[in-house]
């Protein structure tokens, strides 16, 4: 694959697909003007398939031996996108979380409106994580360093309507937070990506993703 496709800064081209529409969550009760907390995706790959995901690049597989509790999704120079579209509204935000173990190179979780905009992203190596939060006016970012290990680490993106904030956390610790929630959308998707580290885009990369959840929340 060419350098443009696998560069860390690349904006992946996304092919339009038909996917199920997820209903807006304005049901009675709860905070945020009637928003109900509801789990929209709870993916632990225990089905043994990648049926909840579109493969955009590479040949991702389900690993039966690795996981916070195996199995998990193993990506090597690969790109998965959630098959389900998620909605936000004036009353309902989202909590999106996923656990990552990095063996080689880069792993990314992206929240995007395909072909339109990036909402949030982490780009992680075994010892650094670049956190990004975006609004219509632009993006804020923060780079953090960590001690390298072979463990899974949990990353969580929170869009909180009650306090009008967005934030990224790692293993329960808030790392980056900004005021003001992102514009409402009805076609958000989650991307899981493993990228090579070399500029030519042909080097090895291998990461494992597990326990991917999406929850509607006030």
Tell me, letter by letter, the H, E, C secondary structure of 3-29: HHHHCCCCCCCCCCCCCCCCCCCCCCC
153 forms beta bridges with: 100
pLDDT at 9: 38
pLDDT one-digit tens code per residue, 138-148: 899 999 999 99
Q: What are phi and psi of 52, to 5 degrees?
A: -90, 10
Is residue 169 over pLDDT 90?
A: yes
pLDDT at 200: 63
**Which domains are delineated in the chain?**
26-217 (2.60.120.200)
pLDDT one-digit tens code per residue, 33-58: 567 889 999 999 999 999 999 999 99
Q: Three-state SS for 187?
A: coil
The Cα 177–Cα 175 span in angstroms is 7
């Amino acid at each position: 694959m060419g350098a443009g496709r696998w560069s860390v800064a690349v904006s992946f081209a996304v092919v339009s697909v038909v996917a199920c529409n997820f209903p807006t969550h304005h049901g009675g009760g709860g905070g945020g003007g009637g928003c109900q907390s509801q789990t929209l995706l709870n993916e632990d790959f225990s089905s043994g398939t990648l049926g909840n995901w579109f493969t955009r690049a590479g040949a991702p597989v389900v690993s039966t031996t690795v996981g916070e509790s195996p199995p998990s999704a193993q990506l090597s120079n690969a790109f998965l996108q959630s098959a389900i579209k998620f909605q936000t509204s004036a009353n309902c935000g989202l909590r999106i979380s996923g656990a990552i173990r990095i063996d080689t190179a880069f792993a990314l979780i992206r929240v995007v409106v395909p072909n339109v905009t990036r909402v949030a992203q982490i780009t992680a190596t075994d010892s650094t994580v670049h956190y990004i939060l975006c609004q219509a006016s632009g993006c804020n970012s923060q780079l953090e360093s960590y001690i390298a290990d072979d463990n899974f680490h949990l990353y969580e993106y929170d869009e909180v309507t009650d306090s009008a904030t967005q934030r990224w956390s790692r293993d329960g610790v808030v790392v980056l937070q900004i005021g003001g929630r992102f514009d409402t959308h009805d076609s958000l998707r989650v991307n899981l990506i493993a990228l090579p580290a070399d500029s030519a885009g042909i080097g090895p990369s291998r990461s494992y993703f597990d326990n991917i959840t999406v929850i509607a929340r006030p």
